[in-house]
Amino acid sequence: MRVLLVEDDPMIGAAVLDALKDAAYAVDWVRDGRVALGAATDQHYDLVLLDLGLPGRDGMEVLAGIRARNNPVPLIVITARDDLEHRLRGLDGGADDYVLKPFHTRELLARTRAVLRRKGGQAGALLGNGRVSLDPATHEACVSAGAPVRLTQREFALLQALLVRPGIILSRSDLEDRIYGWGEEVESNAVEYLIHALRRKLGADVIRNVRGVGWMVAKGA
Ligand code: CA
């Protein structure tokens, strides 16, 4: 899952960046509203976390700009403005949720999971395709309702990317986009290495290779 974090406060931004990375998200952090709008236009994101008070462009303008381009990306507003008017403007302007400053990063992560779940059309807390299930809160996977298996952050990120849409093939660069943020070095065989590790932990047939195209998990396996 790739997240665009838009926050000009260095302390808050660094804390949220660390928390997101610890939860295995690939994160691009920008500090300016104009840059944020450009990034959201150029790159596919699974989620935007948007502060409202920003240099360049105000957060509300960034939100309006994203939605004006028909970009349905899940978006959580981060705001210090605890007044009803701002919250209503954010939600009516197309935000999916909001978090009030100061907030605990654990609450932000829980809201993030909830928004991604709703936007992904799932009711429950687990991702799955009937054969393998994945818990975004604990990073544990289960195959055929067997014992839970702990995954590393990147193993989790890769399996999550596939399980969000079972039956859809993701290429190597699709997967790299969802696992690595800006400035993170990607080894040339990193995706193959992670697939290999996941198959060893979960069984070789859990992830299918479509030769020359990419990888997928079966739909309704
Ligand atoms: Ca700010």
Nearest to 205 by CA among 144, 125, 148: 144
Per-residue pLDDT at 125: 81
* Rounded percentage of the chain residues whose pLDDT exceeds 70: 99
Per-residue pLDDT at 132: 95
Per-residue pLDDT at 118: 86
Per-residue pLDDT at 123: 67
Mean per-residue pLDDT, 115-136: 86
Measure 54 CA to ligand 1 centroid, in angstroms. Answer: 5
Give all domains of the chain, ordered by start, each with its CATH number: 2-119 (3.40.50.2300), 127-216 (1.10.10.10)
Q: Is pLDDT of 103 > 80?
A: yes
Q: Which of 34-43, 151-160, 181-190 has the lowest mean pLDDT?
A: 181-190
Mean pLDDT of the residues in the chain? 92
Is residue 140 within 8 A of residue 149, CB to CB? The reply is yes
Peptide bond into 102 cis (omega under 30): yes
Per-residue pLDDT at 17: 97
Q: Tokens 């996977």, residue?
A: 141
d(CA 74, CA 128): 20
Measure 15 CA to ligand 1 centroid, in angstroms. Answer: 14
Measure 11 CA to ligand 1 centroid, in angstroms. Answer: 11
Measure 164 CA to ligand 1 centroid, in angstroms. Answer: 31
Tokens of 105: 């990063």
